[in-house]
Amino acid sequence: MRAARRLRRAGPYVVAVSLLIGLGATRVAAAAQWYAVPSLRMQTGYNDNPRFAISNGKSTEIFDLAPSLEVGARAPRWGAAVVGGAHLRRYPGASELNRNDNSVNVSSHYDAQRLSWRLGGSYIRSSILGTAQPLGPQTGLVEFQSQRRTGTASPSLTWQVTPTDLLRVSYLFQDTSYQDAARLGLSSFRYHRGSLTYQHDLSARLQVFAIPSYSMFDVPASGFQSRTVGLRLGVTRVFSSTLSATLSAGGRRTESKGVQQIPEGFFIGPSVFIQTGIRRVDVSSLNTGVTADASFTKRLERGALTGSFSRSLTPNGLGTEVETNDLSLALNRPLTRRLAGNLSLHLLRARTVGAVDTTRLSSVDRDYARLSPSLRWKWTRRTTVEASYAYTWFRYRSSGRIVRDNVIYLTLSYRWPRIILSR
């Protein structure tokens, strides 16, 4: 039975990889160049509050090793690539937070005169650091670690109908599962999203577009399901050779129904939850909201300033959906021929939509801010060294308590020359 469930979950990814291989097989005659590119990233750092304690956080060093390998093929009109990587992170002062993650990403494309095809897929096994409401000033929000497995498939087809009119059909499938899901109050879920983009060029510097979309969020274990219909209208404007911006806004209508299972029990210690039963709650709601996306790029005399904002509805493992407001700003400036500086700011506010688990593990209404300056030195053509600092501010809105975190990193990255496998 377990093998059968794994096979069903793997179905979409097998289809994605099959299409990827099939696309390459049909174009072998195009004299594709097959290649491999290994790379390695090594990182060391210092974190003064890895558990996000309210006060008197325990500091620790960080050691990070991330090797990866890209294998692919390139031809005049098509390409395909598979990238596999591992992420090994160690905390000598908090060994229970040690993580071993890995990922595989596949992608392919085909470009004809007026038609283009894109296909992406991924399988990611990552660690999640669970959070709980703090019981005291020295109790950290991070109180347990588990594993999350996420697979995605995302094909898209773009048709240049006329020189000024474009149509794009996109689809996203996501399947996420959690280790020890019942004990942690988490739920595996599936997410489908389809959209149709119509874009019209009013001039070389002005485009307008409309994006109707439909998505479905499904939690099989509890029977919870939500369906969202949305529409966004937008415009892209090139103001000058150095400034361009995109803005879109619209609305959504989300209908949720089903039965949500809420584990009941008590905690023994900071991270062990003893489940004594399950409370079943009937859920049926209708929710509407505003969605928006905005971005700009300003090229400076030296460097560039970029920014983006989005308001969207995203699924999560608590069996609910979360409305997020996400703002990012980044300034990149070359200082010398080999040295560049970067300053980034990330602000996020999340609000739960629909009924949620009322235990202390399930609160997701939060505010988050991260400020990170860095210096990047291109040591050689293939080797870079980066020194960075990150300040993180985090607040749960239900309790109002604030935690802060400071991290310093030194990163060495090396990318080997492209290895040509065949021509």
CB atoms within 10 A of CB 398: 12
- Chain Cα centroid distance, residue 71: 23
Exposed/middle/buried for residue 271 (C-beta within 10 Å: 0-12, 13-18, 19+): middle
Q: What is the DSSP letter of 114?
A: S
Q: Rounded to an integer, what distance in angstroms lies between the CA atom of residue 423 and that of residue 420?
A: 8
Residues 6 or more apart whose Cβ sits within 8 Å of residue 336: none
Q: Rounded to an integer, what distance in angstroms lies between the CA atom of residue 412 and that of residue 423?
A: 32
Q: Rounded to an integer, what distance in angstroms lies between the CA atom of residue 124 and that of residue 291?
A: 28
* Token representation of residue 357: 């688990």
What average pLDDT score do residues 343-357 get? 79
| CA 299 vs CA 50, 237, 345, 377: distances in Å | 36, 15, 18, 21
Residues 6 or more apart whose Cβ sits within 8 Å of residue 368: 346, 347, 348, 349, 350, 392, 393, 394, 395
- Please report how many Cα atoms fall inside a 13 Å half-sphere around the Cα of residue 418, on the Cβ side: 10
Using left for φ > 0, alpha for ψ between -120 and 50, and beta otherwise, residue 408 falls in beta
User: Which amino acid is residue 316, in one-letter code?
Assistant: N
Q: What are the pLDDT digits (tens) for 288-322?
A: 889 999 999 999 989 999 999 999 988 877 777 88
Inform me whether the pLDDT recorded for 4 exceeds 50: no
- Give the model's pLDDT for residue 283: 66
DSSP reduced 3-state for 13: helix
Q: What are the pLDDT digits (tens) for 381-419?
A: 999 999 999 999 988 776 677 888 999 999 999 999 999
What average pLDDT score do residues 112-122 get? 94
If pLDDT is split at 50, 70 and 90, which confidence band does 365 have?
A: confident
CATH of the domain at 70: 2.40.160
Q: What are the pLDDT digits (tens) for 177-234?
A: 988 766 666 788 999 999 999 999 999 999 999 999 999 999 887 778 889 999 999 9
Please give the biggest Cα pair distance in the chain: 67
The pLDDT > 70 percentage for the chain reads 78
Paired sense of beta strands 243-268 and 224-238, if any: antiparallel
- Give the model's pLDDT for residue 275: 62
Q: Rounded to an integer, what distance in angstroms lies between the CA atom of residue 345 and that of residue 333?
A: 15
If pLDDT is split at 50, 70 and 90, which confidence band does 248 have?
A: very high
Q: Rounded to an integer, what distance in angstroms lies between the CA atom of residue 294 and that of residue 237?
A: 12
* Token representation of residue 171: 């689809």
* Token representation of residue 185: 């109050």
Q: Rounded to an integer, what distance in angstroms lies between the CA atom of residue 335 and that of residue 340?
A: 5
- Count of domains observed in the chain: 1
Inform me whether the pLDDT recorded for 17 exceeds 90: no
CB neighbour burial string for 143-169, b if at least 16 within 10 angstroms, e if fewer: bbebebebbbbbbbebebeeeeebebe
Pair 388, 374: CB distance under 8 Å: yes
What average pLDDT score do residues 83-90 get? 94
Q: Which of 198, 195, 151 minimizes the C-alpha distance to 170?
A: 195
Inform me whether the pLDDT recorded for 85 exceeds 70: yes
User: Containing domain of residue 75, as a range?
Assistant: 2-422
Rounded (5°) CA angle 51-149-351: 60
Model pTM? 0.80
DSSP reduced 3-state for 329: strand
If pLDDT is split at 50, 70 and 90, which confidence band does 134 have?
A: very low
* Token representation of residue 393: 């501010």
The 3-state secondary structure of 202-226, one letter per residue: EECCEEEEEEEEEEEEEECCCCEEE
DSSP reduced 3-state for 75: coil
DSSP string, 333-347: EE-SSSEEEEEEEEE
The pLDDT > 90 percentage for the chain reads 57
For 266-275, the CB contacts below 8 A with 24+ separation are 270/132, 270/135, 270/139, 270/143, 271/143, 271/144, 273/183, 273/184, 273/185, 273/361, 275/182, 275/183
Inform me whether the pLDDT recorded for 264 exceeds 80: no
